[in-house]
């Protein structure tokens, strides 16, 4: 089964990115094929070098965990609009396009939006 998770919200301030990535981790443990597409402010969750207070979740680490068994695609237009370069993103996360999102949507058995 292929699952696509689309996340729009910023990594901090709401918990949508946090919960979307938690669900991705849980699905990957069940051997589900997972693609996460970060768009809008969510792309900043894939920025490398995040420093969060002790005891607070770290979006960068959560994104990295998804890339070990699943795919993390980043909206290229959204990265550009926020001044985030390819060199600044988590290793394993991929710059992507709306065409790739359309294809992933067609191939997915389930699409979840956060």
Average pLDDT over residues 49-58: 94
pLDDT at site 11:
96
Q: For the domain made up of 2-48+57-113, give the CATH fold.
A: Hypothetical Protein Ychn; Chain: A, (3.40.1260)
User: What is the band of 39 on the pLDDT scale with cuts at 50, 70, 90?
Assistant: very high
- Read off φ and ψ for residue 111, nearest 5 degrees: -125, 125
Pair 44, 11: CB distance under 8 Å = yes
Mean pLDDT (whole number) for 61-90:
98
**Alpha carbons 91 and 42: distance in angstroms, whole number:** 16
Domain residue ranges in the chain: 2-48+57-113
pLDDT bucket at 72, cuts 50 / 70 / 90: very high
Predicted local confidence at residue 67, as pLDDT: 98
């Amino acid at each position: 089964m292929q699952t696509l998770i689309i996340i729009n919200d910023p990594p901090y301030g709401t918990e949508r990115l946090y919960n979307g990535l938690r669900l991705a981790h849980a699905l990957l443990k069940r051997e589900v094929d997972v693609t996460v597409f970060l768009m809008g402010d969510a792309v900043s969750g894939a920025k490398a070098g995040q420093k969060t207070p002790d005891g607070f979740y770290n979006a960068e680490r959560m994104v990295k965990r998804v890339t070990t068994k699943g795919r993390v695609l980043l909206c290229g237009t959204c990265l550009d609009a926020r001044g985030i370069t390819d060199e600044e993103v988590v290793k394993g996360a991929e710059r992507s396009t709306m065409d790739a999102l359309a294809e992933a949507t067609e191939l997915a058995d389930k699409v979840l939006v956060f």
